A and B are shown apart, each in its own frame.
Chain A
Amino acid sequence: MNLHRRNLLQFTAIFTLMASAGLITEAQAEEWNKAAFEGKSLDEVFNALGTSTPEKSSLISMNAPDIAENGAVVPVSISSNLKAQQIAILVEKNPSTLAAQFFIPAGTESFVSTRIKMAQTSNVFGLVKADGKWLMTSKEIKVTLGGCGG
């Protein structure tokens, strides 16, 4: 059995456990099982998230550097004026396109900031699900290695 499949089965077992422990909802355990993280392209991830290509929207902002000195740590923030239920960060040229997704309960702001790995210069997409509809924004982030020392 290849590593990917074995990992997926582990996910399934773990999340079933977490769901039964009340740590995540059954819905969330289900979401993970859909292997959105296995998507190798934007389309595959959009599909796994249950949407066609989301419309671009100026109501979503992404705060991220134009150039990342090192692809290992790239700070990305997504925020929106919409009432987000879910936020996702996709990196087009990464082997696993979906970097992370976030579930926003009522009372929590439509905002998240995290740090992601980028394999190479790529478009990075910030998706927001609000009112049952996915919208997105994107930005190209250049990745450079940097050199030795410093």
Chain B
Amino acid sequence: MTPFSFAQTTADEIAKYRAMLADDNPAELYEAAGEELWKKPSGPKKSTLERCNLGLGPGVLNGAAAQLPRYFSDTKKVQDLESRLMTCMYVLQGVPEKEIVNAPMQEGLKKDMDAIVAYVVAQSKGMPIHVSTKHPKEMEAYDLGKKAFFYRAGPMDFACATCHSADDKRIRLQDLPNLTTPAGAAAGWGTWPAYRVSSGQFWTMAMRLTDCYRQQRFPFPIYGSEVLTALSMYMAVNANGGTMETPGLKR
């Protein structure tokens, strides 16, 4: 067996493994918890999130995640899903952003956020990704994201581009999507947030990007910060036309 054909068989077998796990994704448990949180009166204002506007109108969740990040006229900035949810949790429920930002990953308010994210992205599953750059701030965010994507830094002089800007690259058995192309970006952006079986955890996009930073030995980005929104914008716009397969399931 040539090395190439062996690799092909392995790739096929792994595809079979992933297909066997495609239904009954444990992310559904997070979705259910998120739905409860969405409808539960909480925070100092004892209010639900049911009036949260994610870009399609107050409380409209169907397809909302598929058009994020986007510019919001009330906050006058481009926001990704987690940033926008923090806005809603503050405006509707009175929960200060800082409390969410400072909560440890996957604990307390971040744990609630993970569940709410799972619930919201599930309402866009199967829908086309369509993110706009019509507003000047949206274009700005895209440009900043592109810059951040190619920015080499850290002790290993890596950038996102080091792993994600060419076709047919892999690390061990993980194929690395080329995030600069429509197909590659859709493969990446469209399948996160996801449940990771290796850790048994649900990872939001912020968690996924933070871990990329960790892998590059960069300092962690601040939760909800501009760079996370910008990178999200870059990937999402490149992925336009692709399909939201969220929540995904990853090894």
A and B touch in the complex (CB under 8 A): yes
**Contacts of B197 on A, CB cut-off 8 Å?**
69-70, 72-73
Q: Determine whether the beta carbon of B175 is less than 8 Å from that of A150.
A: yes
Q: Quick one: given A65-B16, A75-B20, are A70 and B198 in contact (CB under 8 Å)? A: yes
The answer for the CA separation of A128 and B145 in the assembled complex, in Å, is 56
Q: Determine whether the beta carbon of B215 is less than 8 Å from that of A146.
A: no
Q: Does B1 contact A (CB under 8 A)?
A: no
Cβ-closest chain A residue relative to B171: A147
| Number of residues from A at the complex interface, CB < 8 A | 18
The answer for the CA separation of A68 and B251 in the assembled complex, in Å, is 9
The answer for the CA separation of A148 and B12 in the assembled complex, in Å, is 19
Q: Determine whether the beta carbon of B14 is less than 8 Å from that of A149.
A: no
Q: Quick one: given A146-B251, A150-B250, are A69 and B14 in contact (CB under 8 Å)? A: yes
The answer for the CA separation of A72 and B211 in the assembled complex, in Å, is 20
Shortest C-beta distance, B242 to chain A (Å), equals 17
**Contacts of A147 on B, CB cut-off 8 Å?**
170-174
Q: Determine whether the beta carbon of A149 is less than 8 Å from that of B215.
A: yes
Q: Does B29 contact A (CB under 8 A)?
A: no
Q: Which of A128-147 contact B (CB under 8 A)?
A: 144-147
Q: Does B18 contact A (CB under 8 A)?
A: yes
Interface string of A106-147 (1 = CB under 8 A from B): 000000000100000000000000000000000000001111
Q: Quick one: given A66-B13, A67-B17, A149-B215, are A144 and B198 in contact (CB under 8 Å)? A: no
Q: Determine whether the beta carbon of B212 is less than 8 Å from that of A146.
A: no
Q: Quick one: given A65-B20, A69-B17, A69-B251, are A150 and B200 in contact (CB under 8 Å)? A: no
Q: Determine whether the beta carbon of B10 is less than 8 Å from that of A146.
A: no
Q: Does B144 contact A (CB under 8 A)?
A: no
The answer for the CA separation of A73 and B170 in the assembled complex, in Å, is 22
Q: Determine whether the beta carbon of B173 is less than 8 Å from that of A149.
A: no
The answer for the CA separation of A145 and B215 in the assembled complex, in Å, is 17
23 A-B residue pairs with Cβ-Cβ distance under 8 Å, sorted by A, are: A63-B20, A67-B10, A67-B14, A68-B17, A69-B173, A72-B197, A72-B198, A72-B200, A73-B197, A75-B17, A75-B20, A75-B21, A115-B21, A145-B172, A146-B172, A147-B172, A148-B171, A148-B215, A149-B174, A149-B176, A150-B175, A150-B176, A150-B250
Additional A-B contact list (4), CB under 8 Å, known A149-B171, A149-B174, A150-B174: A66-B13, A69-B18, A147-B171, A149-B212
Closest CB pairs A-B (n = 7): A147-B172, A150-B174, A73-B197, A147-B174, A65-B17, A67-B13, A69-B251
